[in-house]
Amino acid sequence: MVWGVGGVVALLVFAVWRLASYALELMHLSLGVLHWAALVFSVGYMIYAEGYKGFHLGFAPRVVVRAQYLWRNPAPGLVLLAPLFCMGFVHATRRRRLATIGLTVMILCFIAIARQLPQPWRGILDAGVVAGLSFGIASLCYFVMAALGSRNIDIPADMPEAVST
């Protein structure tokens, strides 16, 4: 459970660390009313859409449920790939794997587009992403604590049919 969830958290923390520098550059820029409005919208929207709807209601509990499954059913190959397993890239239903791969491709496309934006727009966008990812990290920690407290997390693990939980 530690390697699976810890690997996912490390990936998210690395993303926050990389993006935070662009968001922090905003402190040294002169922002107009439009920029401030965009910043407030970006942060608020990403906390809700990415952090709450994406992470808290779907990704974070599923990562923890899949980590619990792996803890109870360790298989050497899956333990080695635990972060990928927990995210749904391996040993998942076809639908989960396709959704995970599709979301990853979409994120990579957004990253490519965001890199082309000039400041302050890149910083505004990255501030929202940092806020959403930070909410997601907190959500993962919340579900880990809930699982350790023996609370049942009611979300499908999206395991292949032969080994559904």
Cβ-proximal residues to 15 (8 Å cutoff; 6+ apart), any chain: 129, 133
The mean pLDDT value for 133-161 works out to 92
Q: How many CB atoms lie within 10 A of CB 1?
A: 18
Q: Is it the case that residue 164 has pLDDT exceeding 90?
A: no
Instruction: Give the HSE-up count for residue 76: Cα atoms under 13 Å, Cβ half-sphere.
Output: 0
Higher pLDDT, 64 or 163: 64
Say what the pLDDT of residue 1 is.
Answer: 73
85-116 burial: b if 16+ Cβ within 10 Å, else e: bbbbeebbbeebbeebeeeeeeeeeeeeeeee
Euclidean distance between CA atoms 92 and 63, whole angstroms: 12
Of all residues in the chain, what percent carry a pLDDT higher than 90?
90
Say what the pLDDT of residue 162 is.
Answer: 59
First to last CA, the chain: 16
Say what the pLDDT of residue 68 is.
Answer: 94
Euclidean distance between CA atoms 28 and 11, whole angstroms: 28
Say what the pLDDT of residue 152 is.
Answer: 86
Q: Is it the case that residue 127 has pLDDT exceeding 90?
A: yes
Say what the pLDDT of residue 163 is.
Answer: 52
Euclidean distance between CA atoms 44 and 24, whole angstroms: 17
Euclidean distance between CA atoms 81 and 45, whole angstroms: 32
Tens digits of residue pLDDT in 67-119: 999 999 999 999 999 999 999 999 999 999 999 999 999 999 999 999 999 99
Higher pLDDT, 18 or 151: 18
Tens digits of residue pLDDT in 37-53: 999 999 999 999 999 99
Euclidean distance between CA atoms 78 and 103, whole angstroms: 22
